[in-house]
Copies of this chain bind each other. A is one copy, B any other.
Amino acid sequence: MAVAVINYDRCMGRWEPNARGRLERAALELYVERGFEQTTVAEIASRAGLTERTFFRHFADKREVLFGGAGALQELVVRNVAGAPESAAPIDAVAAALDAAGAVLQERGDFAQQRQTVIAANPELQERELIKLASLASAMADALRQRGVREPAASLAAEAGIAAFRISFEAWIKAHSQRDLPKLIRESLDQLKAVTAGSAA
């Protein structure tokens, strides 16, 4: 049965150059123009010049256009925590991982900008974003423990790192993604060090 389904899918599915990217762009445009709630999958597909069937081949639902990248970002972060030099302090492993995440986000500045506009307008999406960030912090703490970092140092380094990441990400969005995100993240981690030491006002 599985084979039959796959064959059917292959026969019916036309090859569409960069369908995923086109759907993403169309979706984000519509979410910004009309609001997330008011946009239908049919409208997204139509604006992208594709079918609803193609949309659902790439995304489970409307929301996944916004959050589908979270898994890949988390993997990237975990891989970079694990791959930091053995001698690196926990906060340095975190910094290396967030640097890599920042570089990836920066490559997609326009998408990030539109995405943030959509999320800021919808409390439910804001909650989803909070949950994704909490999950990212938790995965990072786990990766630190795998390096032999004890608790509470692992959780503190991960949570503090995510706080610095979020705050620099917001500053980057405010600057219309015209500033260097990895640099902002590094500065934010330095400021965090000063703040927790009690030497910033």
Q: Which residues of chain A have a CB within 8 Å of any CB of chain B?
A: 89-92, 127, 130-131, 134, 148-150, 152-153, 155-157, 159-160, 163-164, 166-168, 171, 188-189, 191-201
Which residues of chain B come closer than 8 Å to A200, judged between CB atoms?
89-90, 153, 157
Complex contact A153–B198 (CB within 8 A):
no
Which residues of chain B come closer than 8 Å to A198, judged between CB atoms?
89, 91-92, 193
Contact pick for A188, options B130, B152, B168, CB 8 Å: B152
Complex contact A153–B201 (CB within 8 A):
yes
Given contact pairs A91-B196, A156-B191, A156-B192, enumerate 10 new A-B contacts (beta carbons under 8 Å).
Answer: A89-B200, A90-B201, A91-B195, A152-B171, A152-B188, A153-B201, A156-B164, A163-B163, A193-B197, A197-B197
Taking the nearest CB of chain B, how far is it from the CB of A16, in angstroms? 36
Which residues of chain B come closer than 8 Å to A156, judged between CB atoms?
163-164, 167, 188, 191-192, 195
Contacts A130-B134, A156-B192, A191-B156 hold; do A201 and B163 have CB atoms under 8 A apart?
no
A191 to B153 alpha-carbon distance, docked (Å): 7
A194 to B91 alpha-carbon distance, docked (Å): 10
CB-nearest residue of chain B to A158 = B163
Contact pick for A127, options B131, B148, B157, B189, CB 8 Å: B131
A148 to B196 alpha-carbon distance, docked (Å): 17
Complex contact A152–B89 (CB within 8 A):
no
A134 to B132 alpha-carbon distance, docked (Å): 13
Interface-central residue, A127, A130, A152, A164, by most chain B CB under 10 Å: A152
CB-nearest residue of chain B to A200 = B153
